[in-house]
Amino acid sequence: MAKLHRLISVVLRLAAAGAAAAAAIIMVTSHETTSIFGIEIEAKYSYTPSFVFFVVAFAVTFAYSLLVLFVRPGSTASRLVLLSDVIVGMVLVGAVAATGAIAHIGRNGNTHAGWLPICGQVRAYCSHVMGALIAGFVSLIVYFLIIMYSLHAVAEPLCSCH
């Protein structure tokens, strides 16, 4: 039973790490230059603070997910893993929400604020950001499963005390 738990945990961590790496890489490589009426326009993730936060959050999640694989189950450090998992989960929600909010304006604009959509001009850039968002969302869902799995184990009636 303990071996199955460990296997599920390792598979989930690797899945989360893979999706997080994909999210960070797809976002970092989002770059497009186009010209409108002779004026050159450059779209880059680093021009938007939320996108930079997204890259940092998922890069850290990638490294963290791999590091946690080396934590021995039952050790003192393993007690802290659930706490840090919850913190990582929250940071990922923040990164996806902030990026999603900006991507929504990029795609649809906001007529009341006078912000025009830009995805018509920089299609490849917008597709990249959308791809990064999807990969990030997958990583977030996997982290949500990891947290719920751990909390379920911790909150179940027959808990194993030390």
Binding residues (CB under 8 A) for its own copies: these are 41-44, 47-50, 79-80, 82-83, 86, 89-91, 93-102, 104-106, 110, 112-116, 118, 144, 147-148, 151-152, 154-155, 157-159, 161-162
Residue closer to its own copies, measured from CB, 69 or 151: 151
Any idea which residue has 């779209």 for tokens? 43
The least CB distance from residue 8 to its own copies, in Å, is 18
Alpha helix segments (H runs only) across the chain: 2-28, 49-68, 76-108, 123-155
Residue closer to its own copies, measured from CB, 24 or 88: 88
Contacts of 153 (CB under 8 A, 6+ apart): 5, 159
Residue closer to its own copies, measured from CB, 29 or 46: 46
The least CB distance from residue 159 to its own copies, in Å, is 5
Rounded CA-CA distance 155/145 in Å is: 15
The least CB distance from residue 145 to its own copies, in Å, is 12
Quickly count: other Cβ atoms within 10 Å of residue 18's Cβ: 16
Rounded CA-CA distance 66/53 in Å is: 20
The least CB distance from residue 124 to its own copies, in Å, is 15
